[in-house]
Structure 1
């Protein structure tokens, strides 16, 4: 592994993942960690992962970004001590506003529900999701009226503690405190790679990550394909069941019984 992004979610993690990929780095962002590395993450969440387990999980991976990697940057750096650490940050108020906006959008979308209901891969990764909820918290599961004001202090405390911990503990010779507005030059100099010809990317502007990943993310494309097949199978089975109930007269008996009850 070449680089660990230790910046908290909503500090430009999607932009940094895009930048790393433009630099030619194989990058595990949130969805890649979920889809490809879930078994290794379950061990990390439990605290049973050895250094060798972590090395095996991320074999061939050049960069990691976003949750849960940012919360376990120390464990990752222990396994890959030569990796460089990049810390992205933004002022607390704008970060909080962006985080709540992201949660609100996630609560409104039906994509995650559709995938969870019909994509078989999501069932295989149920343990990963449960550990995420338990150890890191999943504030997207709470509606906005609960987040404000009851969990606002929790969200802000998480953010402040995380930032202070990275700045205090990350080895200074391996750390770059970076702003997205700095562009390619300081990032490429720190990583020892040439500056690309492409403009520096900007992702998830205005919290439109759902639209972005649905259109272009390879992991989401795989999950959507599975979910479409799963939904078709379920629909076909229900149709077959209904046909047999009607054909046998059982459906009439069921509806009559329900009518008599109610």
Structure 2
């Protein structure tokens, strides 16, 4: 198996729904952050990647047909170059609505977990702190201005690097048609998946991590 679809958007741009959609369309299994929580041997590989030692992507992601969400989206350009036949989907929403969703979910999760080194999700959160805050935002994971600037820059970088015929900019809520046309597959009869809404976010993780 090889990666044929790369999600280049930040978490909280509908990445879980996109994962489910890609799997339904036959481009799965799709790698998403939940894979890191389910597969403990993956975690040190991502830590090493963030520190500059990249894996052999074809070997590491050999069981997957697509990728979305962090941590893979942090390496979207490396993955695009590693899989020359792949297509890229850039899920989009307004920067302000993205920040509101991110700050109420991922940011809150990190704040809770990073305050307690005994938390089972501490190592995953430390990965995200470094990857999202330091490297992606170039600041702190709670820095609103830096986060929004990085979010807007991501779209510019993707447009600059990806061949237009291999790129789909996908606005949240657009349904099946654009994606199916882009990937040249039939439109399913079922509704487009909707998952991991803001009020569902903490239910996907350890209760201790989601405690308020």
Using the size of structure 1 for normalisation, the TM-score is 0.65
Taking the aligned partners of 1:118 and 1:104, their CA distance within structure 2 comes to: 16
**Alignment partner, residue 137 of structure 2:** none
1:104–1:131 CA distance, 2 compared to 1 (3 A): closer
Q: Deviations over 1:51-95 (max 9, x none)?
A: xx1111100201111112112101111111111100011111211
Q: Report the Cα distance in structure 2 between the residues aligned to 1:180 and 1:152, rounded to whole angstroms.
A: 22
Larger of the two Rg values belongs to structure: 1
Give the equivalent residue in structure 2 for 1:247: none
1:113-192 alignment runs, 5 A limit: 117=118, 126=123, 129-137=125-133, 147=142, 151-192=143-184
Q: Does 1:88 align with 2:91?
A: yes
Greater alpha carbon shift after TM alignment, 5-14 vs 128-137: 128-137
Gaps of at least 5 residues in structure 1 are 139-145, 215-219, 228-262
- Alignment check: 8 A CA contact 2:93 2:172 kept: no
Which 5+ residue runs of structure 2 have no aligned equivalent?
Answer: 135-140
Q: In the aligned structure 2, how far is the partner of 1:54 from the partner of 1:85? A: 16
Inter-partner Cα distance in structure 2 for 1:160 and 1:48 = 27
1:24-103 → structure 2 map (5 Å cutoff): 24=26, 25-36=28-39, 37-49=42-54, 53-103=56-106
Q: Which residue of structure 1 aligns with residue 5 of structure 2? A: 3
Maintained 8 Å contact 2:74/2:131? no
Q: Secondary structure at the match of 2:21?
A: helix
**Given that residues 110 and 125 in structure 2 are in contact (C-alpha distance below 8 angstroms), is that contact kept between their aligned partners in structure 1?**
no
- More helix as a share of residues: 1
* Structure 1 segments of 4+ aligned residues over 3 angstroms from their partners: 33-36, 116-119, 128-132
Alpha-carbon deviation of 1:185? 1.6
Q: Deviations over 1:160-210 (max 9, x none)?
A: 222211122122121111123221122112112222232111122234222
**Contact 1:28–1:65 (CA under 8 A) maintained in structure 2:** yes
Alignment partner of 1:177: what SS? strand
**Does the 8 Å contact 1:98/1:207 carry over to 2?**
no
Aligned-partner Cα distance in 2 for 1:107–1:73:
22
How many residues are paired up? 196
Given that residues 92 and 172 in structure 2 are in contact (C-alpha distance below 8 angstroms), is that contact kept between their aligned partners in structure 1?
A: no
Cα gap change, 1:107 to 1:49, in 2 (>3 Å): closer
Could you say what the CA RMSD is over the residues aligned between the two structures, in angstroms? 2.9
